[in-house]
Structure 1
Amino acid sequence: MPTFPHRAFDRFARTEASRTGERSGLGLAYVHAAATAHGGTAHAADARYGGSVALDLPC
């Protein structure tokens, strides 16, 4: 989870610690796009040892 939740859903957003792998940084951008496409929202919160993502979708 990025330590910058305001940028967590940006395409290619990655933290310094995750820059060594082969990940693209697109996963949460896809989550945000899917939530928005279905009339919902996605939120990220930072935490000391990780973070959380909340997905709110209409019924």
Structure 2
Amino acid sequence: MVADDGPGIPPEDRTRIFDRFVRLQTARARQPGQSTGTGLGLSIAQGIATAHDGTLSVAPAHSGEAANGPGAAFTLRLPIGTDPGHRPAPAQPKTDL
């Protein structure tokens, strides 16, 4: 889990932030005129998690009364180990060099 004390993610945006090209308020830039990104980072991270049979989720950084307040907590969950019946294909030597 990674948590911060930033402005938080509003409940209505917690699902859509994982969609491609979604950027929340432009006021989130650290300095005036600074780029806020392309809106691809969380989509890519979720795609990687899913490709490994895992999940990436976001929740408020604090529970209770502050649940909609400052901060967000991102949790990456990946399964432990691999299916014993699954073996990756052996690497094939390159012969067209």
Normalization by structure 1: what TM-score?
Answer: 0.79
Q: CA RMSD in A?
A: 2.0
| Structure with a larger share of its residues in strand | 1
Structure 2 residue 43 is the aligned partner of structure 1 residue 29: yes
Q: Where has structure 1 moved over 6 Å in runs of 4 or more? A: none
Contact 1:39 1:57 in 2 (8 A): yes
Q: Identical aligned pairs, as a percentage?
A: 37
Counterpart for residue 3 of structure 2: none
**Bigger Rg over Cα:** 2
Number of residue-to-residue matches in the alignment: 59
**Structure 1, unaligned runs of 5 or more:** none
> 1 CA distance for matches of 2:22 and 2:14?
10
Q: How does 1:1-59 map to 2 (within 5 A)?
A: 2-3=9-10, 4-16=13-25, 17-18=27-28, 21-46=35-60, 47-59=68-80
**Structure 2, unaligned runs of 5 or more:** 1-7, 61-67, 81-97
Normalization by structure 2: what TM-score?
Answer: 0.52
